[in-house]
Chains A and B, each alone.
Chain A
Amino acid sequence: MRLRTAALFSVMMAGLVFLATPASAETTSPSPGPSASAPASDAPVTGPAIRVRLLDQQEGKAGNNPPPVPGVTVTVSDDSDTEIGRAVTNDAGVAAVAIPGKGKYSVSIDESTLPDGVKLTGKKTLDVSVNLTSGQNVAFPLNGKVVEATPFVERFVDSVVSGLKYGLIIALAAMGLSLIFGTTGLTNFSHGELITFGAITAYFLNSTLGLPVILAGILTIGIGGLFGWGQDRVLWRPLRSRGTGIIAMMIVSIGLGLLLRNLYQFFFGASTRSYTDYTSQRARDYGLFDLSDKEVAIMVIAIVTIGIVATIMTRTRLGKAMRAVSDNPALSASSGMRVDGVISSVWTMGAALSALAGVLLGLNSQVNFMMGYQLLLMVFAATILGGLGTVWGAVLGSLIIGVITEVGPLLGVPGSIKEVGALVVLILILLIRPQGILGRAERIG
């Protein structure tokens, strides 16, 4: 709710125009709700007009249908401050003022005409540029939560929690990347496509085959693992046994990424889609932060998975072998059957984890053929930050990257490009401590 209002507010500040989103604002879905388009029949004016719609957004009173606010006077002036017309909101809360055509206008609300108990929470005058011949819809926030009033601490905690969620998703993918790098020395530029693979597979199982999201997600982990195993078997293992250099393999991975990305787009299309369930959920208020149930579930699943991986890595023979191969590059270079077996398991596990990351990311927002590629740099940043090749480093690095990304805008990083904060931190860390937080300094000579 708070984030929603904040978004609305900033959009208005930027001079863009939005119709008031009613209390469906409580959903966490980032797309505008279905009520975003106002029925033009509400207004008696035909032809180009600026239509102002006033709704009481007070929490509790609102529900899903915030009540309209009638009887309020609004004034429209043109670029040179000449008044063009004024109107009073009707029972639907709509006031329409006819305008001569496209251009820049300013819309003011007469606060004295607001009914008792209804307060303006934004600016009194809005600048509107009309680009459509039909005119423009305008809304003033009434009784909304005032953004400035939200204490910094609360916004900070909210950002940290949201950053941790983002970081946990990254961590799943980063553990896979780190394991694969540690055991094979491959800087895998097609790792993002393992993430997308998970999201798209789950979408196919869920939307096309009609399986429930949870079942689709579980199946996807297995299919993702199989995909990783197969990739290693068909491509990477033969390359390793040919003695292909790591830089050559890195470029092969760039080619593979390009291939897979375009294949995904070929079959999935360029559109962004959602799973059939859990698309929009109300956020619950947990005191200092709000989270929807699915967000809580995403975090729990990620934490449990990291726990399982931790157990595998420390308790099982396979896990110990993985760590051993990862710790001793000399050993992984000597390619016996046993090492190849370990690397096969690493690919399977790494790809399964990345597929899960993709499912959770798709659940959190939406599914798209580029989603993994767009996350790749964040995953790299997390892995390097924590220390290339160390699994715990990858988790720690991911959480830090996630939090920096989300908290950055509070500290002055432009909100539209918040990833920049994380990338700058990545570069700074490399300068101060190239081996990463948990990495060991390399021995020279």
Chain B
Amino acid sequence: MDFGSIIDAAFSNAFGPQAIVFALAAIGLNIHFGYTGLLNFGQAGFMAVGAFGLAVAMVRLDLPLPVGILVGLVASAVLALILGVPTLRLRADYLAIVTIAAAEILRLVFGAVETKAVFGGSNGLNGFTETWNSLNPYSKGIDVGFASWSRNDLWAMTVGWVVVALCCLLTWALMRSPWGRVLRSIREDEDAVRSLGKNVFLYKMQALMLGGVIGGLGGIFFALKQASVVPSDYSTNLTFFAYTALLIGGAARVLGPVVGSMIFWFLISGLGAFFSQATSGIDPLIPASVMTDTQASLIRYILMGLGLMLLMIYRPQGIFGDRKEIALDAR
């Protein structure tokens, strides 16, 4: 067993581009769920709209990268508007179902044969990263001993972590302000807030749009770092995993989603590498009669499901959350 490569996989992914995608998605969810109490189960949809906004603008309309990014962000803001107008007046669990349904509709439409001319069918779109790659200042990858990244990863990480830091800064500034105070109050009791003369609907809409746009940013980053947009990447599982990351770190904490995403990817990659090694080779640690390597690749998701349940039951505030100040009253 090569523990070095397991540690390498775990750390490389904990700090790598994939963790950044999740961090952005989870920061958006933190604004929705952690601070405002909105159950958005369609974050994958916001990400997909951001990613396809970018890709369609650049591939089909030949627009430059900055315009593509703008299109992606505007598209996710528009999605928030379209979903929010009708559902923000409904019960919290209805918002959950409408957003999950909307995200599925988007994924199906993006991947459909009938819309292939625009969205590229199930293979999606690629060929929009020329500008992105040309801006890469790095000439080669890096190996720091316990982790290693390629040249492209390094570039994505540089931009990505700066964007994550800016989003965290924005969240911090907003949540210490009276605006954030209104959001946290809505999370607890929106009727009380309404009785004090605040337009609750407007605040919820602003929160939904802000979190959706940050999710869209996550989708755009996802598209750029893997140089393609594939509809099946934006399934509901993506939303569920982003929630898991958020809850690991702790909802309603500025850095909760970031730390949570890093831990999530550390565990997923570390466990993945461990079980992959344990079942491969001539004389595997775990014999094939116990589990095959295909089965072994599932263990991490089984543990993730179990972990999410246990986390929710025994430590709903996450690792860094304060039990007194969270949306989840699990007691």
Determine direct contact between A and B, CB below 8 Å.
yes
Interface residues of A (CB under 8 A from B): 14, 187, 235, 239, 242-248, 250-252, 254-263, 265-266, 269-270, 377, 380-381, 384, 414-417, 419-420, 423-424, 426-427, 430-431, 434
Query: Mind listing 19 A-B residue pairs with CB under 8 Å?
Result: A187-B93, A187-B97, A248-B329, A248-B330, A252-B312, A254-B308, A255-B308, A259-B309, A261-B305, A262-B305, A266-B302, A414-B114, A420-B105, A420-B108, A420-B109, A423-B105, A426-B97, A430-B86, A430-B87
In whole Å, how far is B218's beta carbon from the nearest beta carbon of chain A?
Answer: 19
A246 to B311, CA, bound (A): 15
A94 to B109, CA, bound (A): 39
A250 to B309, CA, bound (A): 10
In whole Å, how far is A42's beta carbon from the nearest beta carbon of chain B?
Answer: 31
Interface size bracket, B side: 35 or more
A341 to B250, CA, bound (A): 35
Assess the B243–A251 pair: CB atoms within 8 A: yes
Interface residues of B (CB under 8 A from A): 39, 86-87, 90-94, 96-98, 100-102, 104-105, 108-109, 111-115, 237, 240, 243-244, 247, 291, 294-295, 298-299, 301-302, 304-309, 311-313, 316, 327-331
Assess the B328–A245 pair: CB atoms within 8 A: yes
A246 to B329, CA, bound (A): 9
Q: A242-B330, A251-B243, A377-B100 are in contact. List 12 more A-B contacts (CB 8 A).
A: A243-B331, A245-B331, A248-B313, A251-B308, A259-B302, A260-B305, A377-B104, A381-B97, A414-B113, A427-B101, A430-B90, A434-B90
Assess the A380–B112 pair: CB atoms within 8 A: no
Main secondary structure of the interface of A (DSSP, over half): helix
Output the nearest chain A residue to B82 by Cβ-Cβ distance: A427
Main secondary structure of the interface of B (DSSP, over half): helix
In whole Å, how far is A432's beta carbon from the nearest beta carbon of chain B?
Answer: 9
Residue of A259, A269, A419 ringed by the most chain B CB atoms within 10 A = A259
Assess the B309–A417 pair: CB atoms within 8 A: no
Assess the B96–A262 pair: CB atoms within 8 A: no
Assess the A434–B91 pair: CB atoms within 8 A: yes
Assess the A247–B305 pair: CB atoms within 8 A: no
In whole Å, how far is A418's beta carbon from the nearest beta carbon of chain B?
Answer: 9
In whole Å, how far is A433's beta carbon from the nearest beta carbon of chain B?
Answer: 11
Output the nearest chain A residue to B304 by Cβ-Cβ distance: A258
A344 to B324, CA, bound (A): 32
Take A258-B304, A414-B114 as given contacts and tell me if A252 and B309 are in contact as well, using a CB distance cutoff of 8 Å: yes
Residue among A187, A248, A252 making CB contact with B96, cutoff 8 Å:
A187
Residue among B94, B311, B312 making CB contact with A434, cutoff 8 Å:
B94
In whole Å, how far is A442's beta carbon from the nearest beta carbon of chain B?
Answer: 8
**Which residues of B are found within 8 Å of A416, using beta-carbon distances?**
112-114
Residue among A243, A246, A255 making CB contact with B309, cutoff 8 Å:
A255
In whole Å, how far is A157's beta carbon from the nearest beta carbon of chain B?
Answer: 25
Take A248-B316, A430-B86, A430-B94 as given contacts and tell me if A258 and B105 are in contact as well, using a CB distance cutoff of 8 Å: no
In whole Å, how far is A176's beta carbon from the nearest beta carbon of chain B?
Answer: 17
A278 to B309, CA, bound (A): 39
A256 to B309, CA, bound (A): 7
Residue of B86, B240, B304, B309 ringed by the most chain A CB atoms within 10 A = B309
Assess the A423–B101 pair: CB atoms within 8 A: yes
Residue among A239, A250, A259, A423 making CB contact with B313, cutoff 8 Å:
A239
Output the nearest chain B residue to A381 by Cβ-Cβ distance: B101
A377 to B235, CA, bound (A): 13
Residue among A245, A251, A256 making CB contact with B247, cutoff 8 Å:
A251
A426 to B101, CA, bound (A): 8
Assess the B312–A248 pair: CB atoms within 8 A: yes
Output the nearest chain B residue to A243 by Cβ-Cβ distance: B331
Residue of A243, A255, A257, A417 ringed by the most chain B CB atoms within 10 A = A255
In whole Å, how far is B159's beta carbon from the nearest beta carbon of chain A?
Answer: 31
Residue of B97, B98, B329 ringed by the most chain A CB atoms within 10 A = B97
Assess the A247–B109 pair: CB atoms within 8 A: no
Assess the B329–A256 pair: CB atoms within 8 A: no
**Which residues of B are found within 8 Å of A427, using beta-carbon distances?**
86, 98, 101-102
In whole Å, how far is B81's beta carbon from the nearest beta carbon of chain A?
Answer: 14
In whole Å, how far is A36's beta carbon from the nearest beta carbon of chain B?
Answer: 20
**Which residues of A are found within 8 Å of B299, using beta-carbon distances?**
266
In whole Å, how far is A263's beta carbon from the nearest beta carbon of chain B?
Answer: 6
In whole Å, how far is B316's beta carbon from the nearest beta carbon of chain A?
Answer: 6
Residue of B311, B328, B330 ringed by the most chain A CB atoms within 10 A = B330
Ranked 9 nearest A-B pairs via Cβ: A259-B305, A255-B308, A258-B305, A255-B309, A414-B114, A248-B330, A417-B108, A262-B301, A431-B86
